[in-house]
């Protein structure tokens, strides 16, 4: 069995979140960093707040740039990760008795000093996001670089550094979190597992 998948399921069941290191190998991360999706800055657009019906740009809330990924046309190295997400989703359905049907994924690029204030991932008008799944692509990230994901738990907050290959998963409806500013550009791929088919994004 896949020990990384087990660790995600155990973390979710026991704590409501999971942090799993080396979910992607250094080699897999390096291959992704060479993909057109990551290298081509023109593909990114300023992230907004809200769902597809009402997107607003609010610099004081989030400063990242995003690019939605399409399973059909993704580069091979990205597809390796999307296939793992698909397998993880099936595993979650079997082990945690969920009924996840699809996922939506974007790459997020946080320029130096940008952040995403404390929030929940589930939209108020739309509760189809069930699990948030983030993987980080930042090689040689140091604590002094900042950029922590701060998660808010009943027992207090916990900081997770965006280390290459690390995967974080949590309940989209429950766990408030924020992204702190960094002294380096910060790259991640954020996905949401949904209880229905994903809408088409404007790619
Ligand atoms: C998000 C988010 C966290 C991170 O995209 O909604 O909270 O660590 N990302 O990148
Ligand atoms: Mn979030």
| Residue 31 to residue 102: CA distance in whole angstroms | 25
Calculate mean pLDDT across residues 55-73.
87
Instruction: Identify whether 159 is part of a domain.
Output: yes
- Lining residues, ligand 1, CB within 6 Å: 108, 116, 121, 134, 149, 162, 177, 179, 188, 190
Instruction: Identify whether 200 is part of a domain.
Output: no
* Alpha carbon of residue 203 to chain centroid: 18
How many angstroms separate the alpha carbon of residue 77 from the centre of ligand 2? 24
Instruction: Identify whether 120 is part of a domain.
Output: yes
Instruction: Give percent of the chain with pLDDT exceeding 90.
Output: 86
Dihedrals φ, ψ of 49, to 5°? -115, 135
Calculate mean pLDDT across residues 113-142.
92
Instruction: Identify whether 144 is part of a domain.
Output: yes
Q: Whose CA is nearest to atom 10 of ligand 1?
A: 188
How many angstroms separate the alpha carbon of residue 72 from the centre of ligand 1? 24
Q: Whose CA is nearest to atom 8 of ligand 1?
A: 149
Work out which ligand 1 atom sits closest to the CA atom of 47. 5
Angle at 88 between CA 203 and CA 159, to 5 degrees: 85
Could you tell which of 58, 64, 188, 191 is best to mutate to test the pocket of ligand 1, judged by most ligand atoms within 8 Å of the CB? 188
Calculate mean pLDDT across residues 157-180.
97
Residue 1 has pLDDT above 70, yes or no: no
With 0-12 CB in 10 A as exposed, 13-18 as middle and 19+ as buried, what is 73?
Answer: exposed
- pTM of the entire predicted model: 0.94
Q: Whose CA is nearest to atom 5 of ligand 1?
A: 190
Per the prediction, the chain carries an average pLDDT of 93
| Residue 182 to residue 58: CA distance in whole angstroms | 19
Could you tell which of 105, 129, 132, 158 is best to mutate to test the pocket of ligand 1, judged by most ligand atoms within 8 Å of the CB? 132
Q: What is the pLDDT of residues 17-50, one digit of tens each?
A: 999 999 999 999 999 999 999 999 999 999 987 7
Work out which ligand 1 atom sits closest to the CA atom of 162. 8
Q: What is the pLDDT of residues 78-96, one digit of tens each?
A: 999 999 999 999 999 999 9
Do β-strands 116-119 and 156-160 pair in parallel, antiparallel, or remain unpaired? unpaired
What CATH number does the domain containing 104 carry? 2.60.120.620
Q: How many domains does the chain have?
A: 1
Dihedrals φ, ψ of 146, to 5°? 75, -145
Question: Could you tell me the pLDDT band of residue 201, with boundaries at 50, 70 and 90?
Answer: confident
Instruction: Identify whether 202 is part of a domain.
Output: no
Calculate mean pLDDT across residues 153-181.
97
Instruction: Identify whether 127 is part of a domain.
Output: yes
Q: What is the DSSP letter of 47?
A: -
Range of the domain at 48: 2-194
The SS3 assignment for 35 reads: coil
Give the up-direction half-sphere exposure of residue 40: CA atoms within 13 A in the CB hemisphere.
7
Instruction: Identify whether 49 is part of a domain.
Output: yes
Work out which ligand 1 atom sits closest to the CA atom of 188. 10
Work out which ligand 1 atom sits closest to the CA atom of 186. 10
Instruction: Identify whether 68 is part of a domain.
Output: yes
């Amino acid at each position: 069995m896949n020990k990384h998948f087990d660790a995600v399921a155990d973390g979710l069941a026991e704590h409501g979140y999971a942090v799993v290191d080396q979910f992607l190998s250094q080699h897999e991360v390096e291959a992704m960093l060479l993909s057109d999706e990551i290298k081509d800055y023109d593909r990114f657009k300023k992230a907004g707040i809200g769902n597809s019906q009402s997107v607003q740009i609010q610099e004081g809330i989030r400063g990242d740039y995003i690019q939605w990924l399409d399973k059909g046309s993704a580069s091979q190295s990205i597809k390796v990760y999307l296939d793992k997400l698909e397998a993880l989703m099936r595993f979650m359905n079997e082990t945690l008795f969920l009924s996840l049907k699809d996922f939506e994924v974007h790459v997020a690029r946080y320029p130096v000093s940008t952040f995403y204030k404390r929030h929940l991932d589930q939209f108020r008008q739309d509760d189809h996001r069930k699990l948030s799944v983030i993987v980080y692509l930042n090689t040689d990230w140091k604590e002094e670089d900042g950029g922590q994901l701060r998660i808010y738990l009943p027992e207090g907050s916990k900081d997770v550094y965006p280390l290459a290959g690390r995967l974080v998963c949590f309940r989209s409806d429950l766990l408030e979190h924020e992204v702190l500013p960094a002294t380096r550009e910060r790259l991640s791929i954020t996905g949401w597992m949904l209880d229905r088919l994903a809408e088409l994004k404007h790619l």
